[in-house]
Amino acid sequence: MSGIRGSGTTPPSGTDGSAVAPWKSARRTAGLAVFGWASAAATTGVAYLTLGSEVVPIVVGFLLCFVFAVLLLLLHRAVWLAVLSAVPSLFVLVGSVQYAPEAALEQRGVREHVVLVADTAAGTSNNNHRFTLRGSDGKELEEKLEFNGDAWAPKVGDRLDVMRDPEGAVPMEQADEVDATGRLGGLVGGTVTWTLMAVLAGWRGHVRRRRGRDSPADQLL
């Protein structure tokens, strides 16, 4: 009888939960959440250090968002949540890149009422506009107002308010489009959503490992 009892089949590692440590999953989850907040802060910091050039913070932010998605996939062991993380990643990227320059304009920017007197794209198929402006004193401003795209683009002769940086580090923007608070809200909202996704990924990933659902086919679900 003892020989019969000893010949039972041993369950695969992890299917009984013995090979999966809950605290290990919790540490991974906490680490991913911290990485998300650190990524948002790092991209915002780079944007502050490179005011006037959006290329560097965009590249840094994109890479960090991509790394977050990969880590989320490894933690969750399923693709769909990593794909969904692209939505809050967009909020984090836009918020962190645009918050710094708009905050600078709100803090030290000069508001001025101007008239659009010329457009470099006028009469061409180019949709990258660079408007020449005339201030309220009748003098033309040295700095141009840039606008990409034809949708909602202002026209020559339009009057509007702009915010310009007296130090020249931040490009001029239309005053009604400067919204540092809104950018910060999007940044924080995206990062909070990242945190919730990390918690969900950690819990579901732990359950999947306990049940042995860790094959490549299972990772698509």
Residue 3 CA, chain-centre distance (Å), reads 62
Q: Is 183 left (phi over 0), alpha (psi -120 to 50) or beta?
A: alpha
pLDDT tens for each residue of 1-42: 444 444 444 444 444 444 567 788 889 999 999 999 999 999
pLDDT tens for each residue of 188-209: 999 999 999 999 999 988 887 7
Q: Which two tokens stand for residue 119?
A: 């457009």
**Which stretches of 163-219 are DSSP H helices?**
180-210
The residue whose two tokens read 């061409």 is 124
Dihedral sign for Cα atoms in the order 5, 8, 10, 16: negative
What counts of helices (H) and strands (E) characterise the chain? 6, 5
Give the type of residue at 182: G
pTM more than 0.85: no
* Residue 125 backbone dihedrals phi, psi, to 5 degrees: -90, 0
Q: Minimum mean pLDDT among 4-13, 104-113, 125-134: which range?
A: 4-13
User: Which pLDDT band, with edges at 50, 70 and 90, does 217 fall under?
Assistant: very low
CA distances for 11 relative to 22, 77, 88, 210, angstroms? 20, 21, 40, 12
